[in-house]
Structure 1
């Protein structure tokens, strides 16, 4: 059973093991060379990548700089995780469910939350509906109000005035502000601040030494990546942005920070390799597909030519079938201004990739597919677009 791993394996996972010592499938020299090329692109600033292979952190390395003219990125440099935070929130709920402190079929209205849905829908919508984005309201409802400085609780209360786009549970419409009602649920159940609850049950047990929730956690880190965007670029380089509190004010949806090494440790736990923290019951809750995501499938089919299909959403996680063999992979992407994040892994092979970068370039998403192609022994494809005219044009 994949949940019955030795203490020795857990210890080895904390170290970056030389690739040649453990791998005949992964070409880490080629990966390193391609990442070096990518990091030199004018749209990039800093980048950090880790690969977990057969349960071990086999590769973890930083590229570029924390800021233009600044220090090199290392595997301990802290980035924002953006929407990978949603999986962290779902993980906390799964842990509480495994402790019988709540049930994912409980209605969100049975907890002390500010979420109000059309027609009193908060009394029908379950935690499962919130975590799988099945609330029946338009996608990204009132994110602009959050960006304009509104109190998230006030925004959640105002959602009741929206016209439903489908019945609760019937369609997938991605949310941020509404999703953050999960932070209120956690605080109600644990009688502690959301950040403290997650630190206690997720970050500390997994040894995630740099992980935090909130802007101060990012900016107080010894090494942290500043945000950059293509918008308003100067002299052909991305422009530095200000770290604001907008999405930090909805911590369950976008509030987590951490290094690539901590993201790799987090990924290992979701492969079932730390059963004392995340057992089989919790992982089944998180990784069981709840709803087909048509828009996500169209996006992935267009960009990655059928490499991933049958896109579905679990609890805070996306689930796909990878390649012609239909291997099950689990992952997510994240984006806030100046930061991007990516995680993708095969929980049956204990293998995957995590990526963090501090610019708005979309090219690093291709790293994940090049790594997984290697893991499955598939032919090489330039998913990073390093050798295409499109990449050269900066598209």
Structure 2
């Protein structure tokens, strides 16, 4: 009995220390005052953004709404850093996580066209070496990989515990993962895996002779005129980026949860951007038939019944053809959606992990207010 008593005292002490540490390393949640009066759509949208921050314990929230190629609404609330209390702005640089995949798909479509290829061709056309060692993977089409219908899988969660602490470069990471891919059974059913996009990023590097970050960053700045969007490479210092947060386990507070790069550069999730830059791109995607991304989109639009390759079909409202992508990693949550038929799009960025599905909830409320 005496030993059990000391065991219980020890466990209680550990738990108390955990609570104290969690409190010490966290910040009070952001609590914004609701508007005094709500007179128009602008006030309504402001009100639901404030409500979203308060209810879901968000550190910051940035939202842009585009209609008929015009910015119908744009607002940012909360902070870049709860420590410094720097206000979040439409120019704040923030990790967009898996929204990065959209940009890889758009760039790849252009790259393939320039080389006389299309997304229905097999990936062996960009890497004979990969095809000689893994012919089954080499026969996969770019479309299958973009749509996560390749049979490729991500490494298991537990394998991360045994991975080296240093961030591998893209080539080393891909070749370390290829032997672990089991594609022999021909299972090409949908399975969402970041590795699909790491592989595509590597293929672009291999064929072009340039690093993925050099390829994409030049395209982002020169072709798309996105001056604050980029992929971080091995040799680059990270520019000041918005800090990510998550809710603490016990207290109603927020704890820093920074972004970590699984691989560098990081094609599937490593893009950093701003609300203003993503609004600019969403406007071009809405204008798919007329905008500067017309040829990119046409190359990805193989089947009218499916979303564009590299884009997710997202259920937001009834009878709507919403496309785009979710992003969520570490303390960051994002959503980019648009409907070309309605000429309408929404961008949502937050530096807080989404545990309550606030992104799709907020998008539906915006659509309802604006009667889209």
Shorter-chain TM-score above 0.5? yes
Does residue 268 of structure 1 match 2:283?
yes
Aligned pair count reads: 324
Q: Following the alignment from structure 1 to structure 2, what is the Cα–Cα distance between the partners of residues 175 and 113? A: 23
Does residue 51 of structure 1 match 2:70?
no
Equivalent of 1:214 in 223, 228, 232: 232
Task: Write the mapping of 1:152-167 to structure 2, written as runs, cut at 5 A.
Answer: 153-157=171-175, 158-164=177-183, 167=186
TM-score, normalization by structure 2: 0.76
1:332 counterpart SS class: strand
Does residue 226 of structure 1 match 2:213?
no
The aligned counterpart of 2:326 is 333
Contact 2:335/2:349 (8 A) holds in 1: yes
Which sits farther off after the overlay, 156-165 or 109-118?
109-118
1:48 counterpart SS class: strand
Does residue 128 of structure 1 match 2:143?
yes
Query: Relative to structure 1, is the Cα distance of residues 137 and 190 closer, same or farther in structure 2, using a 3 angstrom cutoff?
Result: closer
Equivalent of 2:268 in 253, 261, 279: 253
Q: CA deviation at 1:153?
A: 4.0
Q: CA deviation at 1:338?
A: 0.7
Q: Following the alignment from structure 2 to structure 1, what is the Cα–Cα distance between the partners of residues 60 and 237? A: 15
| Deviations 1:79-107, CA, capped at 9 Å, x for gaps | 10100001110010112234345321332
Equivalent of 1:32 in 26, 43, 46: 46
2:44 counterpart SS class: helix
Query: Relative to structure 1, is the Cα distance of residues 34 and 288 closer, same or farther in structure 2, using a 3 angstrom cutoff?
Result: farther
The aligned counterpart of 2:223 is 205
Query: Relative to structure 1, is the Cα distance of residues 57 and 371 closer, same or farther in structure 2, using a 3 angstrom cutoff?
Result: same
User: Which of 1 and 2 has greater Rg?
Assistant: 2
RMSD across aligned C-alpha pairs, in angstroms? Answer: 3.2
Which sits farther off after the overlay, 55-64 or 97-106?
97-106
The aligned counterpart of 1:67 is 81
Equivalent of 1:178 in 171, 193, 196: 196
2:247 counterpart SS class: strand
Contact 2:152/2:195 (8 A) holds in 1: no
The aligned counterpart of 2:359 is 364
The aligned counterpart of 1:238 is 254
Q: CA deviation at 1:209?
A: 1.9
Runs of 4+ in 1 over 6 A off after TM superposition: 113-119, 215-218
The aligned counterpart of 1:91 is 106
Which sits farther off after the overlay, 111-120 or 75-84?
111-120
Does residue 317 of structure 1 match 2:318?
no
| Deviations 1:155-179, CA, capped at 9 Å, x for gaps | 53333344448626x3111111232
Q: Following the alignment from structure 1 to structure 2, what is the Cα–Cα distance between the partners of residues 334 and 165? A: 30
Query: Relative to structure 1, is the Cα distance of residues 239 and 323 closer, same or farther in structure 2, using a 3 angstrom cutoff?
Result: closer
| Deviations 1:360-386, CA, capped at 9 Å, x for gaps | 133233222222334544xxxxxxxxx
Q: Following the alignment from structure 2 to structure 1, what is the Cα–Cα distance between the partners of residues 226 and 100? A: 14
1:179 counterpart SS class: helix
